[in-house]
Structure formats: structure tokens, C-alpha cells
Amino acid sequence: MNKERVLSGMQSSGKLHLGNLVGALRNWVRLQDQYDCFYFVADWHSLTTGYADTSGIKESTKDLLINFLAAGLDPEKCTIFIQSRILEHAELHLLLSMITPLGWLERVPTYKEKQQELKEKDLATYGFLGYPLLQTADIIIYRAKYVPVGIDQVPHLEISREIARRFNNIYKEIFPEPEALLTEFPKVVGVDGRKMSKSYDNAIYLSDEPKTVEQKIRTMVTDPARVKKTDKGDPELSPVYQLHKIFSSKEEQEEVAGGCRTAGIGCIDCKKILIKNVFKVMEPIWTKRNELRNSPDLLNDVADRGTAKAKKVAEETMRLVREAMGLY
């Protein structure tokens, strides 16, 4: 029986952190057993905001591939590829740009929000405005049925559905409207208690050395009420406990929460338990990352095979698209 296709990508614009691992990659790994998963490194997407300095893109692309594999993606079960190596994405992007009303792109909420957020960059470019269009091309070129997203990203998928529908109405029914594959992503906080994010400089990276991870957790913010070990605290106010909820066992969570409330455990010991559990998750990733960093041939082989497989599907879709549009 043919499995339904799932499509998802990640921008190659810097290192991945624990939030990316728990929020997306682990889910990708689960999905590869149930669906025909296509996962890609979105290196063109990183140009939409980072076009002025492209010096790190190649290295980031390689690092992302390493993280995909280190986190457990299996190239025998899913298709892993690099966006910029499949030029058909650009062709479809161009053709879709002919039929997409400007207003649809301008009203995407992240368009204005991100421009505000990244004020230091000049984002008054077509590439930035057209980001959702490229994203749509990425998805529908594989005629994917599902895109794994969190509930807050569902509206972002709507524009892809609208564009697919518009193409189908004008020319021919070629594209299925991609559906959200809803996933509950646990919210991962950073070492300062805000959402873990590169831009807040509060992240624990998959590429961090064990010593760095230990140091980051040791110096994490705790419940401010616990100045001395004898002060009682509220674990719910402590970012450390938020991470325990993700990385520690139920028993350990109860132990530290109870100990925090009764001042039966000190923050140093509480963090030691968290360090042990975060290490448990990261150690296999570190080992795999080290192996892969020294195996450029293996990485190239994974990228080549995945890209060739994806390209075949993209070529077939573009053949249908050109035909439907009456192109040569």
C-alpha cells in the first residue's frame, strides 16, 4: 500500500538547539515509520532574511544534514534532500508568482512581524515577500498530503492551500491541497526562562560540548524565591522544572517538585538531575555527530540519493504543470 506523503523542511541558517530537537526533529523521526516522508534542507529560504551574508550557508547545510541523521532520520525510510539542488522548486515558484495576488502575500502576518523583528536588515525585497510562495512550491511540487505543524502554524499553511486551489481552478487539477498534520510540540524554554531561541541567545545547541551544556544548565535561572537552600520554592516558576518535564522521568519530576516546595532539595542537586537526563538524550547525538563530521562521503551519499529521488518526483510534477499551462 502506498503511504501518504509528508513534507517538511528546515532552514539552514545556524545551529539547531534542543527546542528544534524536541519540537520538530523527534516528530520527523516518528513520522518516517508511518508516512512517505520528504525532509529537506531549505537553504534558499535562509537567503530570504540572510542574503547579505551567505558565508555560512554551506557549513549550515552540512551541519543540518548531520543533525537530521544524528537525531535518528534514516535515509532508508525517508527522503532527505537539499532544496537548492532541485531547480524545479524555483521554476514552480516563478510560475506560481504569475497567479498569486500580491495582497495574499502582503497579508501573511509574519511578513510585517518579521520585518519589525529584524529591523536591522533590509527586508523590503521580493524574495522576502515571496517566501510563502517558495514554501508553497516546496510543498506542492511533491504533491504532499500532509505538512507537520503546530496549531499556531496552521494559518501559514492556508496560503499554500489557496494557491494550490487557484492553480487547479485556472489550469488543471494537479495539486492536492496540503493538510496540517497537527502535532503537540512541547514548549521548550531556554536557560533564561523565555522560549528557547537562537535570537534570545538562551539555547542549548546540539553542537554544544558536554562541558558547555553542563555550564548552561548550572547557571540557569531558577525560582527567584529560592535564594537560600532553606527557602521553599514553586517549581512551576522555575525554567529548570519546565525542562525536567520534558527530559526527566515522572518519578524524578515528582521528586524535584516536592523537594522544591519543601526546600528538601537544593537547586544545585535539582540541576544535576536535569544535566544527567539531558546528557542521556544528547550523548547518542554527540556520538553520531562526531562520526558523521568525519564521514563526508557518507553525508554526500545521503544527500545525493535523497536529492535524486526527490528530483524525479519534482520533474514529473513539472511536466504536468507545463502541460497544464500550455508551455513548451
Which positions lie near ligand SF4, rule CB under 6 A?
222-223, 226, 233, 235, 238, 240-241, 256, 260, 265, 267, 270-271
Sign of CA dihedral 232, 236, 238, 243: positive
114 belongs to the catalytic site: yes
Residue with smaller CB distance to ligand SF4, 29 or 267: 267
Rounded Cα distance, 7 and 197, in Å: 23
Which residue has cell 544535566? 275
CB of 230 to ligand SF4, least distance (A): 12
58 belongs to the catalytic site: no
Residue with smaller CB distance to ligand SF4, 178 or 233: 233
CB of 261 to ligand SF4, least distance (A): 8
H runs (alpha helix) in the chain: 18-20, 26-31, 45-50, 57-70, 88-99, 102-106, 109-117, 126-129, 131-140, 154-170, 210-218, 239-247, 250-262, 267-293, 296-325
The CA-CA-CA angle for residues 70, 178, 168, to 5°, reads: 140
Cβ(68)–Cβ(39) below 8 Å: yes
Cβ(190)–Cβ(152) below 8 Å: no
- Name the phi and psi angles at 278, rounded to 5: -70, -40
Residue with smaller CB distance to ligand SF4, 50 or 235: 235
Closest CA to 195 of 184, 187, 206: 187
Burial grade of 173 (CB within 10 A; 0-12, 13-18, 19 or more): exposed
CB of 258 to ligand SF4, least distance (A): 10
Residue with smaller CB distance to ligand SF4, 62 or 226: 226
H runs (alpha helix) in 100-238: 102-106, 109-117, 126-129, 131-140, 154-170, 210-218
Exactly one of 114, 121, 145, 272 is catalytic; name it: 114
228 belongs to the catalytic site: no
Exactly one of 15, 77, 198, 272 is catalytic; name it: 198
Closest CA to 92 of 50, 48, 130: 130
CB of 241 to ligand SF4, least distance (A): 4
Residues counted in the chain: 328
Exactly one of 77, 121, 195, 272 is catalytic; name it: 195
CB of 194 to ligand SF4, least distance (A): 16
Residue with smaller CB distance to ligand SF4, 203 or 260: 260
Residue with smaller CB distance to ligand SF4, 236 or 301: 236
CB of 269 to ligand SF4, least distance (A): 8
Catalytic site positions:
114, 195, 198
